[in-house]
A and B are shown apart, each in its own frame.
Chain A
Amino acid sequence: MPAQKSPLQKRNPQKLISRKNRVFLNIPYDAAFENLLLAYIAGISAFGFTPRATLEIPFSQRRLVRIISLIKSSQYSIHDLSRVQLDRTAPRTPRFNMPFELGLTVGSSIPNHAWIVCETRRHRIKKSLSDLDGTDVYVHDGTVRGVLRELCNAFVRTKRQPTIEQMMQIYRILRSRFAGILQAAGASDPFNARVFRDLCVLASAAADEIIP
């Protein structure tokens, strides 16, 4: 007698299978972070993963519920806590979304979910979030190459392990097609759902071509 399928599997059999390749990306959405967003998409795709981000979620009352479900539907999550300073627009405030989403991830205790924390500056997290003492933090120095290097330090593939140069190649492809993708979406920055999706599919196609 075949094993009974859960209601979730009955509705969408693909949903449980593909959870393995999903990475929840928790990063600041500001213009200064544009290059690093492309670097994260390139690096994550180079490992054969699919990036997910709250950019995909439309603003609504149920946003928090959907953020939690997005985290739960991913096997890994990357939390970049680089933006701890006050922003420029009045009233000047720090950004709480990234540490909040890290808290949601840790607090949800999702089975088989691994999370990593990234920062721009070494030792700063000891001051900004001392509760993470004893947790390894990946410091990327705020550069594209730094992000790719730290992703290589964080993940190791048994097959199709990408090199930094291959990841840089994917990043260059994203860079060179970036203006066209923005234009097609009628957007001025990459922090919107359509641009993010296009960039992820483009990066995945490039990774499939470049990484043997």
Chain B
Amino acid sequence: MKPIRVNSAFATPYDTARILGVSRARTEELIKLARRNGDHTAKPTVSSETGFASKGSAYKAHSIKRSSTSVARKSRVRNAGAKVSTTKTKSAKANL
């Protein structure tokens, strides 16, 4: 297959907005949205092709500091965030 070679100028968001008839104010809003998103690009979920989770849902489990006596567990409820369980570990119970 022979690809189509493109050497035209790259369309800016303002070009796109003008062609599609989007107002100036809405264009500025959308540009801001894109820039804000660029700072923290959404991370893929397990089914990376279908949906994305924002910071702090499933990823929260990895950020919780583990202590010797408490364990971070993900709730079994669908889409629920991780919560710190106060269940003692086996070694902690043994030391009591």
Contacts and interface: CB of A to CB of B under 8 A. Distances in A.
A20 B8 CA distance: 7
Interface of B is mostly: mixed
Contact of B15 (A18, A136, A173): A18
Interface residues of B, number: 37
B34 A173 contact: yes
Interface stretch (A60-68, A92-100, A120-128, A148-156): A148-156
Nearest to B7: A158
A49 interface: yes
Contacts of B7: 157-159
Interface of A is mostly: helix
A72 interface: no
Nearest to B17: A201
A21 B8 contact: yes
A143 B17 CA distance: 28
Interface of B: 1, 3-13, 15-22, 26-27, 30-31, 33-35, 37-38, 41-42, 44, 49-52, 54
Interface of A: 14, 18, 20-22, 35, 45, 47-50, 52, 56, 75-76, 114, 116, 136, 138, 143-145, 153-160, 169, 172-173, 175-177, 180, 197-198, 200-202, 204-211
